[in-house]
Amino acid sequence: MLSHNLLRNLEAAQGRMDQLQNQLSSGNRITRPSDDPVGIENALRIKSSISHVEQWKANASEGLAYMDTTDTTLGDMTSMLQRAKELATQGANGTMSEDDRNKIALEIDQIKEQMVQLANTKVGSKYIFGGTANKEPFPNGATQWQGSDDIVKFQVGSSLSLEISVNGRDLFGVDKGDPTATPTPIPPDLTKIGMFKALDDLSTALKTSDMDAIQKSIGDLETQADNVVNYRAQLGARQNRMDSLYQQLDSTSLNLTQSLSDIMDADIAKTLVDFKSQENVYQAALSVGAKIIQPSLVDFMR
Amino acid sequence: MRSTFSGLELARRALESQQTALDISGHNIANANTPGYSRQMANLQQTVPSSIPSMGHNLSIGTGVTVASIERARDLFVDRQFRWETSKQQYWEGRQDALTKIEGLLNEPSDNSLHDDLDKFWNAWSDLSKNPENLGSRSVVLERAATLADTLHHIDQQITEMQKGLDSNVRVQIKQVNVYAMQIQDLNTQIKRAEVAGDNPNDLKDKRDALVDELSKIVNVRAVESKDSTFKDRDVNIFKLYIGNDNVSGQILVDDSTAYQLEEPSTPGADGLPFAEVKWATGHPLGNVTVDLGDKLGSLQANLLMRGLDVNNASGQSKDTAYLANLRDKYNDLAKGIAEAVNAIHSVGIDRNKVNGLSFFVPDSGAVITAANITVNSALTSDPWKLATGKDEFGDGVIAKAISSLSSGWQGYLDSIDPDPATMPVDAASFGDYYGAAIAEMGVDVQQADRMKEGQDVLVTHMSNQRESLSGVSLDEEMTNLVKYQKSYSAAARLVTMMDEMLDTIVNRMGMTR
């Protein structure tokens, strides 16, 4: 009977040591669901959350990259429109000859070409001004608009998606038609693109030395430039928002990781102390056991 | 008038009895470590006194000692308690064993589990929503979906394997019960024969008790011993052994010299079905009916309840009667729910050619999606461009975002489907929640099994100690007995010598004249 009890207690002590050893070597307090069922439900939920937040962070980061490129492009466009306005003002000067105006017109043409290039900027596989249509917004030298009104959105929250670009259609002034006209609504004419028309008009006006037209163009270009600056400001505000969202997601991720660690990780110091004391108990049990199971009357009789 | 040699006879009896007692002590010492052995004691009694007339009245004078019987130290009540507690302990041990295995195969919390695969799947959709025009992102989504399906298949397979393993355990245990029944019946016959001859066959009874103890690990047992009234002048017993639920009468396994058997279960097919059933064989008084095993007793019942009581392994069984089948149901529901939700959202979306999305998940056999048959539609794996990601425009990624949002709830799902469905794909706040709850529930079950087994271990040890203290051989006690009987023997031998001298006087020297 003594030996049964001894064996059972030794086994129990070894079992406890084994469990503590497991915790120490894995660093986790919870290695199986049965170690802490409530804890594990929380842990699984937090793990999911961390996974999503990391994904949204990646999305936000990629979104910011797009926005930066768009911003730079808009900046370029603004400076080119300014240049065009300068040239127009020059051309409006009555002292210029037809020849000079022709030369200015050539430069205006170049500016228009460059503008088309900018309008078709592509980052990776996306056209930044094409919206969700994913086609070149101004093909064939900008004879037609092929993009979409719908701006690409990136998911940065469980039900939050932010636009990463600006509305290409409104930026370049593509004709919208007149849906309220009677008796039938007028459909939009996709070949009428405001910005390029303004540049084309200026070029034509310069080539034909039409002073009135040149004056009008200066006004048009002014409007276009203001438009671009407007959109750039909008984009800037959105960029700030995206940036602060990114920061938020970052700190959320950190907090969640901390919470997960609180639930899952073993307190190494405490576990070590427990293990040591358990080891002591085990050794004491062993040595006591050796002493009590030996003697019986047999040893003392002749 | 007393007999001359009665004193010698008295001494002889003493010698014989003390020697027998010494032998019994020796037997005890020899069997000190034999499992299941109960300590035997000589029952020394005075022999019938003789009556001698002496000076007008009768004197009753003793005639010595004899070993009336050899008893074994056994308490039937402690035995009964021990077997009851053992049955309960073995039930929880069997249950703990199976549950720990399941816990291992599910492998939570780790980075290679179903939960992780789900998360990666949802994230792949979120990635795709950023770049629907990117073929690489599409391939990633399809790969992650395939991995998810594979994991579900694997888990389903593991559950089936476990059920098969438990089933073969049940079959082996049924055979064991039958073998024990035959062995006990054999011993009954031998014991009866000995008892009819007036003997008390202690060692045979010990053997029988050991067999009943072993049987109590598998099923609950109840041994009933009663006196056979046909034998009036000697002690003959009838031994009956009942198994299973104590409250159901008639579940007799061994009726003295008749042993009943459990029915041999039908051979399983390649899929492991039908499972073995525990029934009485034909010829049993109750007929060919299922054995009522009682409430949480014996490892046979543990195996049965984990495997599932229904021999055809039907779905829809409750957790209490079919743990593994119920667990499989949960995974089936999860697979079906995921497929439903993803398919519903996907079919609302459009792909590059403005064609509505096909079913994303299809069953590769049968009509209903289960964890075993869920697969990614092969039309999509062969042409990733058919993945529908957009709602109004190909590049808007709205559908991909909606699918990705399934990870945290039903908002995206409800927004995409029109009209709103009446019930959600699974009965929880999200897929993650449903799965987490299932895991936590299983964790609680394992904890319960662990704790109950620990508690029962203590009880069984306590009972075992009680038995040991009563029936176990204490070497100290036997040594003391040896001394006792040896001294008595020496004294009796001295008595013989003295009697011899006295008789010598009578025979050789009385009435001798020169």
Query: Each residue of B281-315: pLDDT tens digit?
Result: 988 988 888 999 988 999 999 999 999 888 888 88
The more confidently predicted of residues A90 and B514 is A90
Identify the CA nearest to A134 among candidates A120, A117, A114, A116: A120
pLDDT confidence bin for B447, thresholds 50/70/90? very high
Helix (H) or strand (E) holding B51, with range, is strand B50-54
Rounded distance between C-alpha atoms, residue B176 and residue B276, angstroms: 14
Q: Is the pLDDT of residue A179 over 80?
A: no
Cβ–Cβ < 8 Å for B43, B67: yes
Predicted interface score ipTM higher than 0.85: no
Give the tokens for residue B403: 């699918």
* Triad B136, B137, B143: Cα angle to 5°: 90
| pLDDT attached to residue A302 | 64
Which candidate from A45, A125, A134 shows the least CB-CB separation from B436?
Answer: A45
| pLDDT attached to residue A93 | 82
Task: Specify the 3-state DSSP secondary structure of A18.
Answer: helix
The string of pLDDT tens digits covering residues B119-138 is 999 999 999 988 888 889 99
Residue B112: exposure state from Cβ atoms within 10 A (0-12, 13-18, ≥19): exposed
How many helices (H) and strands (E) chain A has is answered by 9, 4
| pLDDT attached to residue B205 | 93
Tracing tokens 């259609």 back to the chain, one arrives at A169
Task: Specify the 3-state DSSP secondary structure of B72.
Answer: strand
Rounded distance between C-alpha atoms, residue A160 and residue A246, angstroms: 13
Question: Average per-residue pLDDT in chain A?
Answer: 87
Name all contacts of B127-131 with Cβ < 8 Å and 24+ positions apart.
B127/A55, B127/A58, B127/A59, B128/B387, B128/B389, B128/B397, B128/B400, B129/A154, B129/A155, B129/B389, B129/B397, B129/B398, B129/B400, B129/B401, B129/B404, B130/A59, B130/A62, B130/A63, B130/A154, B130/A155, B130/B397, B131/A124, B131/A125, B131/A126
Which candidate from B109, B404, B437 shows the least CB-CB separation from A155?
Answer: B404
Interface test with B, best of A134, A256, A265, A293 (most B CBs within 10 A): A134
Task: Specify the 3-state DSSP secondary structure of B427.
Answer: coil
Model pTM?
A: 0.84
Which stretches of B237-389 are assigned E, i.e. beta strand?
237-243, 252-255, 258-259, 361-363, 374-376
Which candidate from B132, B412, B475 shows the least CB-CB separation from A298?
Answer: B475
Which candidate from A1, A133, A158 shows the least CB-CB separation from B469?
Answer: A1
Q: Is the pLDDT of residue B110 over 90?
A: no
Closest chain A residue by Cα to residue B389? A132
**Cβ within 8 Å of A, B 94-123:** 99-100, 103-104, 106, 108-109, 115-116, 119-120, 122-123
Mean pLDDT (whole number) for B470-475: 88
The string of pLDDT tens digits covering residues B208-235 is 999 999 999 999 999 999 988 888 888 8
The string of pLDDT tens digits covering residues B323-333 is 999 999 999 99
Closest chain B residue by Cα to residue A42? B436
| pLDDT attached to residue A172 | 86
Q: Is the pLDDT of residue B1 over 60?
A: no
How near does any CA of chain A get to the CA of B391, in Å? 10
Rounded distance between C-alpha atoms, residue B161 and residue B154, angstroms: 10
The length of chain B in residues reads: 514
Q: Is the pLDDT of residue B488 over 60?
A: yes
The string of pLDDT tens digits covering residues B358-388 is 899 999 888 899 999 999 999 999 998 888 8
In chain B, residues with a C-beta closer than 8 Å to the C-beta of A125 are 131, 133-134
How near does any CA of chain A get to the CA of B455, in Å? 13
| pLDDT attached to residue B398 | 87
B129 touching chain A per CB within 8 A? yes
CB contact under 8 A, B109 and A40: yes
Strongest mean pLDDT among A26-30, B471-475, B487-491: B487-491
Give the tokens for residue B108: 């939570």
The string of pLDDT tens digits covering residues B395-427 is 788 889 999 988 888 888 888 888 888 888 888
Give A211's Cβ-side CA count (13 Å radius): 6
In chain A, residues with a C-beta closer than 8 Å to the C-beta of B134 are 124-125
Supply φ then ψ for residue B114, to 5 degrees.
-60, -40
Identify the CA nearest to B442 among candidates B152, B93, B100: B100
Mean pLDDT (whole number) for A32-57: 90
In chain B, residues with a C-beta closer than 8 Å to the C-beta of A40 are 108-109, 436, 439-440, 443
Rounded distance between C-alpha atoms, residue B327 and residue B324, angstroms: 5
Tracing tokens 């990614």 back to the chain, one arrives at B376
Question: Average per-residue pLDDT in chain B?
Answer: 90
Rounded distance between C-alpha atoms, residue B328 and residue B315, angstroms: 8
In chain A, residues with a C-beta closer than 8 Å to the C-beta of B464 are 4
Identify the CA nearest to B120 among candidates B404, B369, B409: B404
Mean pLDDT (whole number) for B86-92: 95
How near does any CA of chain A get to the CA of B100, in Å? 9
Q: Is the pLDDT of residue A295 over 70?
A: no
In chain A, residues with a C-beta closer than 8 Å to the C-beta of B479 are 296-298, 301
Q: Is the pLDDT of residue A91 over 60?
A: yes
Mean pLDDT (whole number) for A181-197: 80
Closest chain B residue by Cα to residue A33? B443
